[in-house]
Structure 1
Amino acid sequence: MALAAGTANAHGVGEADAAFIEGSSGINLVPYMYLGAKHMVTGYDHLLFLAGVIFFLYRMKDIGTYVTLFAIGHSTTLLLGTILDIRANPFLVDAVIGLSVAYKAFDNLDGFRTLFGRTPNPKAAVLIFGLFHGFGLATKLQDLTLSPEGMVPNLLAFNVGVEMGQMMALGLILIVMNLWRLSGSFQRTAIAANAALMCAGFVLVGFQLTGYFATSA
């Protein structure tokens, strides 16, 4: 259980980055932009969710719409959660983030229509889960001692970095996805890939819930 708890927190703020944040004061825009981009590029839960979101999107207009909705949700709770110090158990928030991965994969498999006869609004779902993704990072930053001097500009720079990292990661995902779509194996493996994505989401949920119960015991 202790091992699972450590794994559950693996996508949080690293020790070196945490030391910098706690030891810095004043306005440090570029370093915070770098930290934000680094978090997004290495945040496997965010990347898995984004991969699920764009899995069956072919037009750049649609991709832009969904990614923008995710960015709005992510940015809102990241900034407000940190600045206003809105608290929640990080393990439970991250469990919802893991659930978002499983949800999107299940939606891609047309599971909701098959079981319930209708599909939830996909745009609303991406926006709502975006709020949880941003709040998940806010809970990590709340554990650190942020200098009040320059905190708001630094957080804004951090958020800009997060969105820059998202664009870089999304670009790589799209390249891989487009190459995969051009191959003859895409139609045969799409179902298996989303099933694996859904399993990964439930594994993340399990890690987070294990971490919650391990630290609450």
Structure 2
Amino acid sequence: MISSFVSSTGRATGAARAVGAIAVSLAFLAISGVAQAHGVAESDQEFIEGTSGINLIPYMYLGAKHMVTGYDHLLFLAGVVFFLYRMKDVGIYVTLFAIGHSTTLLVGTIFDIRANAYIVDAIIGLSVAYKAFDNLDGFTTVFGWRPDPKKAVLVFGLFHGFGLATKLQDLTLSQEGLVPNLLAFNVGVELGQFMALAVILIAMNFWRLSPSFQRTALTANAALMSAGFILVGYQLTGYFTQGA
């Protein structure tokens, strides 16, 4: 993919500066408490806990809102489609992610399957770092092998869905209309994913037309990997200080 130009000193220096700037920014967000990957807004919590019965449209809205504001999802999706040029391939990978995400969101919430939220969110951060490392041909270069990318997207999709399930489990959900509401929420998540993905693909296609794409692709994926590891570190810090 892009390993042929990794040796360029000038480009590597520029990439290092960009990664450093992004890393500092993300670290500041984490320290200030903003970086809550799957947090549910207070107003949304009040709605969820204060209503009962079937509320399909509101739950669809909340699901879509979660996706388009969930930066961890968006970072992972951006990494997944980064080097996918055919819509058929985009559809396959996004479908696998949606299957994984939907399965654990519904099953985890309905059957109250629990896990430590910090650990789940740390794995979600790792998914971002993994995909960036994969885009940089890191597995082939360092280990001489590459994990099956389709299986990896499906597996990480399971963790992304479980991440939200752990947050919903902290709320008092009305059992009246629970299943229809969760299904509507999941439909909203997928609609939000579709909208976010459309924006990402449009931006990516314009970027790919730029003569600087191959040069800046290295910087972008290095920054993406840095962001993923910062998310991992932030969640593990929360685990050892608050959630262990």
Structure 1 residue 58 displacement after superposition: 0.2
For the residues of structure 2 that align with 1:65 and 1:12, how far apart are their CA atoms?
28
Alignment partners' CA distance in 2, 1:7 and 1:210: 14
Q: Post-superposition shift, 1:11?
A: 3.7
Structure 1, residues 158-187: CA drift from partner, whole Å, max 9, x if none?
Answer: 000000000000000001100000011101
Aligned partner of 1:183 in structure 2 is 210
Q: Does the 8 Å CA contact 1:11/1:44 hold for their aligned counterparts?
A: no
Aligned to 1:23: 50
TM-score, normalised by the number of residues in structure 1: 0.96
- Structure 2 residue aligned with 1:70, among 77, 91, 97? 97
Give the Cα separation in 1 of the matches to 2:207 and 2:32.
35
Once the two structures are superposed, residues 42-80 of structure 1 have per-residue CA deviations (whole angstroms, 9 ceiling, x without a partner) of: 000000000000000000000000000000000000000
2:177 corresponds to: 150
- Deviation per CA, 1:87-121: give whole Å up to 9, x if none: 00001000000000000000000000001111110
- Spell out the pairing of 1:25-104 with structure 2 (5 A cutoff): 25-104=52-131
Equivalent pair of 1:4/1:210 in contact (CA under 8 Å): no
Q: Distance in 2 between matches of 1:84 and 1:5?
A: 34
Distance 1:10 1:50, change over 3 A: closer
| CA-based RMSD | 1.2
Shift of 1:210: 1.2
Deviation at 1:12, TM superposition (A): 1.2
For residues 9 and 153 of structure 1, the distance between their equivalents in structure 2, rounded to whole angstroms, comes to 27
CA contact (8 A) 2:38 2:164 kept: no
Residues in 1 aligned to 2:131 and 2:202: alpha-carbon distance in whole angstroms: 20
After the TM superposition, list the runs of 4 or more consecutive aligned residues in structure 1 that deviate by more than 6 angstroms.
Answer: none
Question: Aligned partner of 1:186: which letter?
Answer: F
Q: 1:14 aligns with which of 41, 45, 59?
A: 41
What residue is the counterpart of 1:203 in the other structure?
A: 230
- Residue equivalent to 2:188: 161
Q: How far did 1:145 drift?
A: 0.3
Q: Match of 1:172?
A: 199
The one-letter code sitting in structure 2 at the alignment partner of 1:45 is D
State the distance in 2 between where 1:40 and 1:53 align.
Answer: 16
Distance, in Å, in 2 between the alignment partners of 1:179 and 1:71 is 25
Relative to 1, partners in 2 of residues 1:48 and 1:150: Cα closer, same or farther, differing over 3 Å? same
- 2:157 paired residue among 130, 134, 141: 130
Shift of 1:9: 2.5
Q: What stretches of structure 1 of length at least 5 have no aligned partner?
A: none
Cα distance in 2 between the residues matched to 1:39 and 1:79:
15
- The share of aligned pairs that are identical, in percent, is 80
CA 8–19 in structure 1, closer or farther in 2 if over 3 Å, else same: same
Structure 1 residue 117 and structure 2 residue 144: aligned?
A: yes
The answer to whether the 8 A contact 1:5-1:210 is kept is no
Query: Any idea what SS the aligned residue of 1:96 has?
Result: helix
| 8 Å contact kept, 1:6–1:211 | no
Q: Indicate the SS of the match to 1:184.
A: coil
**Aligned partners of 2:91 and 2:208: how far apart in 1?**
19
TM, length-normalised to structure 2: 0.86
Structure 2, unpaired ranges of 5+: 1-29
Which amino acid is the alignment partner of residue 94 of structure 1?
A: D
CA deviation profile, 1:135-165 (whole Å, cap 9, x unmatched): 0000000000000000000000000000000
Number of residues of Structure 1 aligned to a counterpart in Structure 2: 215
